[in-house]
Structure 1
């Protein structure tokens, strides 16, 4: 959404009573599900939406999947995902310091195979998908003993109506054993992270033949185990080029719901880690901290709420457990460099890890084989994770962008609330909705449709609740919520 227009700010209605009367009808018109497309979420997979206290609007509801999304989800192929994991494991090791030139073993062979797969998918895209090798030389560092070429493999599916708005999904194709400098021992890396790469490849395959509004980048990064080098380079390049990345997801260790440690499997849950404000702030992150909702209403957490709205239903068969943290203790994934550049980002990972076998060399003890092998993966589970990711990316790319310039009027002592925002450039934009929730509620609970306007006043005190604004298109696709900053 580069070069947003600056329309004249208009108040939604001349009077509070007229506004509230009109809002109920507008809400029904703007956010009605698609014709013939009933909501399909179940109580099991729908986030709690506790209504506490009176106020304008109606209870929020999940966004139902449209017909094309349901068809897309049916096309995700578990057998292809399994074949992808097994092929990556067959390269022996994919350590960042392993061979770049051996055609059968090492990270170079894995790189070339991924590149060939994506080029094959791009051939069916009618020119909308392009594939590139993004290489750079990483200078010596604690886990890089000598200058090393690191290569990201990137497939970009250009959007039709909002090509400058971009969403990124990645998995890392490098692997390791316990000794992070051991570049020669077998490092199968089935769960960490052939599972994520195989899911990304399958997403690229099924989306390559479809038209999207916004642009999606499908990326296999390298250098993750040595220090997130591949994703850091990609994030810097995008930031330097001024690319409007409105969401990034890392699929890292998504291979199994069973930790194989005696705990019960959790086959219908995927964790999503999203932070608030990090210790080291960018200018964008400082703005988050200073916003009305504070760290719990930053762009990454709004992105997580969006995921729960569009991807927790009987089409994916999954529940997304959102964790309000950047990542697990002592760990980090490829979403972190994007956060450091001020982009909204999160990390999908399985519900419980087995740290004992994750990076160990293959071995056999008492007839039990240990190591990060395909036999420890659940390919049905990886496919369901791919469905969650597909539902998220499709809904983001087909819907409007997150509203920009959202402010809340704090110039006077009043018991109502005035919000303002910039109108988006989408040609199929229908209007906007104001959302609110109690300050203690984790998700949005109420929504008020306000129409195609750039300001609205609600008879609800800004001192008592939290507010946000989202865009809606003509067929009911919604954007993530934009949280307001104070404006005098």
Structure 2
């Protein structure tokens, strides 16, 4: 009897140990995440809503409208420059959008508010960009005079970007981070399209673009779901800018679920959940909500890696609606309906992801998987990263029906053979820096000769 009880006790202990998860947090990133303040976020959102409307085509007014709100953001960015020791520079990038016969009736002057935190490594030209849109709207997309407070859409995203610029501008990162507040989203993604085209034309080494659009609502309309513990990240599968060669390799390797945007989404889930408690990142396998789009879409079209961060449940009483009370229901995108604690957590996963990416070496180069002969083992090969120094590498593995990487094999070599068949698993490789920061994962190409 004693032996049976001892066996049961040991079995329970082993099961408990098997379920133990060790979470390693970089102390510097953890501290930055802890500095994100729900009170600061609320202050920004309420002040943005006080501009009455931020419609892209609203009239020039010192106290309301889009130009006044852009200057408000710029003033905040400027106030952070002193603590950055000269690394943060900010301005409004103005441009002319021609009339389109739809939502831009005449040639219009628009602007994106930019704050660039220069990387500390002169040999590292990588750029990571985080964005939100400042323009707001009510029910009529062309009504530039009606009240459109835009507290959640997208005052929440703007507030998050301001808070991130404030916290991160005090720190140093190898790569450059750009905080941008675009305009013209509701009129057809105009500001984002201009910036994506500029990045392409100027050959930016833009590694990742994180678009935050509506991250403050936790209570859904109709279904009455109240949940501030989950957030969605949308990522494209088949790249919008895919050419015929890319398509052929994707079909050959069955890589439709391993685009760079999808790898970025996986990265944000792993790193975000590592640093932010009580928030689950849900990966949504589409570029955006059904038949809809956001400011990450023009970047994807230009071939950049881009995702959208968005609240889990939307409330259509407070989105694209006129401010009013009807049948006892308050309509309109008002600050009173924003969950600022929810915003704090979502801002935290953005910070953790950006800080980790900008501190890590770049991805390994020329990642390949050897397919020159049939084998029940899998051999991967790669070259060292172009930027930064890799202490080692992780070879990642997951079953074909799994959304997330399930195992990591560490090596300090540039090749690894593991006893798992490529027929049954997907693989990828990521660089690991001296302090443990990981790059994004790279899906291997077939090595045929």
TM over 0.5: yes
Distance in 1, Cα, partners of 2:113 & 2:249: 32
Deviation, 1:63, is 6.3
Establish whether residue 102 from structure 1 lines up as the match of residue 65 from structure 2: no
Which whole-Å deviations, capped at 9, do the CAs of 1:304-324 have from their partners, x for residues lacking one?
111121111464431111101
In the superposition, relative to structure 1, how do residues 450 and 389 fare at CA in structure 2: closer, same or farther (>3 Å)?
A: same
The residue number in structure 2 matching 1:446 is 407
The residue number in structure 2 matching 1:120 is 79
Distance in 1, Cα, partners of 2:298 & 2:22: 30
Determine which of 189, 196, 200 is the counterpart of 2:157: 196
Which whole-Å deviations, capped at 9, do the CAs of 1:193-237 have from their partners, x for residues lacking one?
000000100000000110112111111000100111111111111
Distance in 2, Cα, partners of 1:190 & 1:372: 6
Is this contact kept in 2: 1:290–1:485, CA < 8 A? no
Establish whether residue 358 from structure 1 lines up as the match of residue 319 from structure 2: yes
Deviation, 1:293, is 4.4
Distance in 2, Cα, partners of 1:115 & 1:284: 43
Deviation, 1:339, is 0.9
Is this contact kept in 1: 2:33–2:275, CA < 8 A? no
Q: Which moved more, 1:463-472 or 1:313-322?
A: 313-322
Aligned CA-pair RMSD:
2.2
SS in structure 2 of the partner of residue 225 of structure 1: coil
Determine which of 176, 190, 203 is the counterpart of 1:229: 190
The residue number in structure 2 matching 1:75 is 35
Is this contact kept in 2: 1:360–1:371, CA < 8 A? yes
Distance in 2, Cα, partners of 1:287 & 1:127: 47
Which whole-Å deviations, capped at 9, do the CAs of 1:129-154 have from their partners, x for residues lacking one?
11121111110111100001111111
The residue number in structure 2 matching 1:406 is 367
Determine which of 426, 429, 439 is the counterpart of 1:469: 429
TM-score normalised per structure 2: 0.90
The residue number in structure 2 matching 1:172 is 133
Establish whether residue 457 from structure 1 lines up as the match of residue 394 from structure 2: no
Is this contact kept in 2: 1:81–1:379, CA < 8 A? yes
The residue number in structure 2 matching 1:311 is 272
In the superposition, relative to structure 1, how do residues 63 and 429 fare at CA in structure 2: closer, same or farther (>3 Å)?
A: farther
Which structure 1 segments of 5+ residues have no match?
Answer: 1-57
Determine which of 424, 432, 445 is the counterpart of 2:385: 424
Determine which of 204, 207, 218 is the counterpart of 1:246: 207
Deviation, 1:292, is 2.6
Determine which of 50, 55, 65 is the counterpart of 1:90: 50
Determine which of 319, 335, 350 is the counterpart of 1:389: 350
Q: Which moved more, 1:423-432 or 1:76-85?
A: 423-432
TM-score normalised per structure 1: 0.83
Determine which of 350, 371, 374 is the counterpart of 2:335: 374
Is this contact kept in 2: 1:63–1:477, CA < 8 A? no
In the superposition, relative to structure 1, how do residues 253 and 427 fare at CA in structure 2: closer, same or farther (>3 Å)?
A: closer
Establish whether residue 258 from structure 1 lines up as the match of residue 219 from structure 2: yes
Which whole-Å deviations, capped at 9, do the CAs of 1:429-449 have from their partners, x for residues lacking one?
201121112112211112222
Which whole-Å deviations, capped at 9, do the CAs of 1:342-385 have from their partners, x for residues lacking one?
11111111111112331111112355432000011111111111
Deviation, 1:289, is 2.5
Give the number of equivalent residue pairs: 429
Is this contact kept in 2: 1:312–1:320, CA < 8 A? yes
Distance in 2, Cα, partners of 1:284 & 1:174: 38
The residue number in structure 1 matching 2:146 is 185
The residue number in structure 2 matching 1:9 is none
In the superposition, relative to structure 1, how do residues 438 and 188 fare at CA in structure 2: closer, same or farther (>3 Å)?
A: same
Deviation, 1:450, is 2.0
Alignment of 1:312-331 (within 5 A): 312-313=273-274, 315-331=276-292
Distance in 2, Cα, partners of 1:383 & 1:316: 11
Which whole-Å deviations, capped at 9, do the CAs of 1:85-136 have from their partners, x for residues lacking one?
111111111111112x311111111111111111111222001111121111
Which structure 2 segments of 5+ residues have no match?
Answer: 1-17
Choose between structure 1 and 2 for higher RCO, CA contacts under 8 A separated by at least 6 residues. 1
Distance in 2, Cα, partners of 1:113 & 1:163: 32
The residue number in structure 2 matching 1:137 is 96
Runs of 4 or more, structure 1, over 6 Å off, are: 58-63
Q: Which moved more, 1:353-362 or 1:227-236?
A: 353-362
Distance in 2, Cα, partners of 1:403 & 1:293: 21
Deviation, 1:264, is 2.5
The residue number in structure 2 matching 1:268 is 229
SS in structure 1 of the partner of residue 257 of structure 2: helix
Which whole-Å deviations, capped at 9, do the CAs of 1:404-439 have from their partners, x for residues lacking one?
321222233333322222211444420112111211
Is this contact kept in 2: 1:63–1:310, CA < 8 A? no
In the superposition, relative to structure 1, how do residues 428 and 379 fare at CA in structure 2: closer, same or farther (>3 Å)?
A: same
